[in-house]
Structure 1
Amino acid sequence: MSEQHVHSIILVRHGQTDYNAARRMQGQTDIPLNAVGRWQAQQTAQTLRHLYVDAHHSRQQLIVSSDLDRAYSTAQAFADVIGVSINTDSRLREREFGEWEGLTAQQVKEQWPEDYYAWLTSAGGEVKHGAETKAEVGRRGLSALNDWSHRAGDDTDLFLFTHGSWISQTVQSLMGLSEVHPEGVSLGSIRNAHWVTLIPRQRSSQDYLWALLDFNRGPAIAESVDWNNPSAGQ
Structure 2
Amino acid sequence: MQVRSITLVRHGRTAYNKAGRIQGRVDIPLDATGQWQVEQTGRALRDLYVTSEPAARQLVVASDLTRAQQSAHAFADPLGLDVHVDGRLRERHFGDWEGMSMDELRAAFPDDFDLWMRGLGGEMRHRAESHAHAGARGWDALRDWSHRAGSDTDLFVFSHGALIENTIQEMYGIGERFPDFVSITSMRNAHWARLVDARIDEDDRWILVDYNHGPALADTPAWDDPGEAPGPGRVNRGDAQ
Give the 4+ runs in structure 1 shifted more than 6 A.
none
Q: Deviations over 1:21-42 (max 9, x none)?
A: 0110000000000000000011
Q: 2:169 maps to what in 1?
A: 172
Name the one with the larger helix percent: 2
Secondary structure at the aligned position of 1:31 is classed as: coil
The structural deviation recorded for 1:220 is 1.2
For 1:15-30, list aligned pairs within 5 A: 15-30=12-27
Alignment pair present for 1:130 and 2:123: no
Structure 1 gaps, min length 5: none
AA aligned to 1:129 is H
Give the fraction of aligned pairs with identical amino acids, expressed as a percent.
48
Q: 2:234 maps to what in 1?
A: none
Alignment pair present for 1:199 and 2:199: no
TM-score in terms of structure 2 length? 0.91
The structural deviation recorded for 1:180 is 3.2
The structural deviation recorded for 1:178 is 2.1
The count of aligned residue pairs is 230
Alignment pair present for 1:102 and 2:99: yes
Mapped partners of 1:53, 1:202: distance in 2: 21
Choose from 222, 227, 232 the match for 2:223: 227
AA aligned to 2:85 is T
Choose from 139, 142, 145 the match for 2:136: 139
CA spacing shift, 1:182–1:90, aligned 2, 3 Å: farther
AA aligned to 1:216 is N
Q: 2:59 maps to what in 1?
A: 62
Choose from 190, 199, 205 the match for 1:209: 205
Secondary structure at the aligned position of 1:102 is classed as: coil
- What CA RMSD, in Å, does the superposition of the two structures yield over aligned residues? 1.6
Structure 2 gaps, min length 5: 231-241
Q: 1:32 maps to what in 2?
A: 29
TM-score in terms of structure 1 length? 0.93
Mapped partners of 2:156, 2:211: distance in 1: 14
Contact 2:88 2:137 (C-alpha < 8 Å) held by counterparts: yes
CA spacing shift, 1:155–1:122, aligned 2, 3 Å: same
Mapped partners of 2:229, 2:137: distance in 1: 42
Q: Which shows bigger deviation, 104-113 or 116-125?
A: 116-125
The structural deviation recorded for 1:185 is 2.4
The structural deviation recorded for 1:121 is 2.4
The structural deviation recorded for 1:230 is 2.0
Q: 1:218 maps to what in 2?
A: 214
Alignment pair present for 1:7 and 2:4: yes
CA spacing shift, 1:183–1:67, aligned 2, 3 Å: farther
The structural deviation recorded for 1:213 is 0.9
Q: Deviations over 1:130-186 (max 9, x none)?
A: 110101111001100100011021000000000000111111111222223457423
Mapped partners of 1:225, 1:118: distance in 2: 32
